[in-house]
Amino acid sequence: MKFIFSTKDYLVSGESFDIIECDSCFLRITNPFPNEQNIGNYYSSNDYISHNDNASGIFDHIYGFVRSYQLNKKKKLIEKYCDKINGKILDIGCGAGDFLDVMKKGHWDINGVDTSEKARGIVNNKLNIEVMDPDSWIKSDTQYDVITCWHSLEHVHEPWMYLDKIKKSLNPDGILIVALPNYHSTDAKIYKEFWAAYDTPRHLYHFTKESINKIVYPHGFNIRSIYRMNFDPFYVSILSARHMGKSVIYGLINGFNSWLSSIFSINKCSSLIFIIK
């Protein structure tokens, strides 16, 4: 392991954390990261949009508009790789259930997993489904055609355990879709310890194309395709600029430069979507 730099929790606590990197697999790790009993304390913020269904401010409204667009793009991407009618899908880290809502309206058989009791309650009320906590899902023997992890695997204390369970939970021709921040991106290199997608300590692990491949391969998975998340360079750069005390314009300029570089090299995009079988 090698030390990269120190960053901090800009959202909740203001505490400092180190980013360290594995010499062999290039996975980066938040050090120290909270245990499973107290990690929930670091999600206690009204600004944590993943579990917040109420937008307030211009930035949140723009985020909401982009999120709606992205949700439909995700649905189309899934249907490109899984053409089953009324397929069965599980979303791990389902948050407030916006993605599951889109899939339900598309006549998919939906289910979700989330550690947050608040998030599970929101989805239960909104979609009338029983969202599982991780322990219940681990014990379940239900099979799925598609399992998605939209920016959730980096939050998991033991992602290898989840991958093992995912392998057992997929039908033989099922697909796993994982979206992750990419610390090889142009904006990550610009902002370094201020890069918002480190999001310590909520993000326990930090990935690249190479590191996610090294992690999924031992579990019998192979990456089939990779896609950019085109709006993430702008969103992440604006938040990162805020961490530095810089203007929104500064963030937009860096976001545009990052997006433009990712057009020529996908490995320079803030976040990547991996299609895995």
Residue 49 pLDDT grade (very low, low, confident, very high; cuts 50, 70, 90): very low
Token pair for 232: 């993430």
* Cα–Cα nearest to 130, from 102, 94, 166: 94
Report the sign of the C-alpha dihedral through residues 22, 214, 73, 257, in that order: positive
Split at pLDDT 50, 70, 90, the class of 40 is confident
The upper half-sphere exposure of residue 257, i.e. CA atoms within 13 Å in the direction of its Cβ, equals 14
- Catalogue the long-range contacts made by 122-127 (C-beta closer than 8 Å, 24 or more residues apart): 122/51, 122/53, 122/96, 122/97, 123/94, 123/96, 123/97, 126/96, 126/97, 126/101, 127/97, 127/100, 127/101
- Sequence length of the chain is 277
Q: Is the pLDDT of residue 56 over 70?
A: no
Spatial contact of 169 and 136, defined as CB atoms under 8 Å apart: no
Residues 6+ apart with CB under 8 A from 170: 143, 144, 145, 147, 176
Return the SS3 of 165.
helix
Note the pLDDT tens digit of each residue in 175-223.
999 999 999 999 999 999 999 999 999 999 999 999 999 999 999 999 9
Residues 249, 177: Cα–Cα separation, whole Å: 33
pLDDT tens digits, one per residue of 120-175: 999 988 898 889 999 999 999 999 999 999 999 999 999 999 999 999 999 999 99
Nearest to 275 by CA among 263, 101, 266: 266
Gap between the Cα atoms of 204 and 32, Å rounded: 9
CB 231 within 8 A of CB 271: no
What is the residue extent of each domain of the chain?
Answer: 2-276
- Pick from 215, 96, 89, 223: which is nearest to 158 by CA? 215
Superfamily of domain 2-276: Vaccinia Virus protein VP39 (3.40.50.150)
Q: Give the mean pLDDT of 9-19.
A: 95
User: Does residue 50 surpass a pLDDT of 90?
Assistant: no
> How far is 135 from 162, CA to CA, in rounded Å?
11
Q: How confident is the model at residue 55 (pLDDT cuts 50, 70, 90)?
A: very low
